[in-house]
Amino acid sequence: MQLHPFNGVSPTLATGAFVAPGAQLIGDVRLGPDASVWYNCVLRGDVAPVVVGARSNIQDGSVVHVTRSTDGTFIGDDCLIGHLAMVHGCVLENHSFVGLGSIVMDGCVVETDAMLAAGAMLTPGKRIPRGQLWAGRPAVYLRDLTERDIARNRAGAAGYVELAKLHPRD
């Protein structure tokens, strides 16, 4: 695990948070209880905070950064962020899902139980309303998520909490 202070501020990890080897956390990065940051991710809070809520996971190779034009990047509780995602200067509300290889740009909001599909790009300032699935580049509304979709996404977040407990910790 690599925790790097920047400008006098160091990353902080709550009880049970997991940071995999190879992941880099720089500056004002705050992980909530049982949050997980997987192999080769970069979370860089050098110009504003990166806050990750309880039980949220950021999967392998993802990048989370901020911009001076926002108050930071805020990831709620029980969020799923798929492998190789780019999350930048935005808000992901509780139980939101950002798919594999997708991009969430500055000023965006992904509301509770909303989903950005794999490979999608949410352009600056867009909002995905609660319970909707957006897809494409640029992302557009595709359909409402079913109760089964939402339950599966919520179970996925819980599964990553359990999986993190099985991985070695420094």
Contact predicate 1/21, CB 8 Å: yes
126-161 confidence digits (pLDDT tens): 999 999 999 999 999 999 999 999 999 999 999 999
Q: Residue 12 CA to chain centroid, in angstroms?
A: 16
Using an 8 Å Cβ cutoff, are 37 and 25 in contact?
A: yes
- This prediction's pTM: 0.96
In this prediction, residue 67 carries a pLDDT of 87
Taking the C-alpha atoms of residue 66 and residue 6, their distance in angstroms, rounded to an integer, is: 14
Q: What CA–CA distances, in Å, run from 72 to 1, 13, 126?
A: 23, 17, 16
**What pLDDT, on the 0 to 100 scale, is given for residue 132?**
98
User: Residue 1's pLDDT is what?
Assistant: 57
61 conformational bin, left if phi > 0, alpha if psi -120 to 50, beta if neither: left
For the stretch 54-68, pLDDT in tens is 999 999 999 999 988
123 Cβ contact list (under 8 Å, min separation 6) = 105, 108, 138, 139
CATH number belonging to domain 2-166: 2.160.10.10
pLDDT confidence of residue 47 = 94
pLDDT tens-place string over residues 70-98: 899 999 999 999 999 999 999 999 999 99
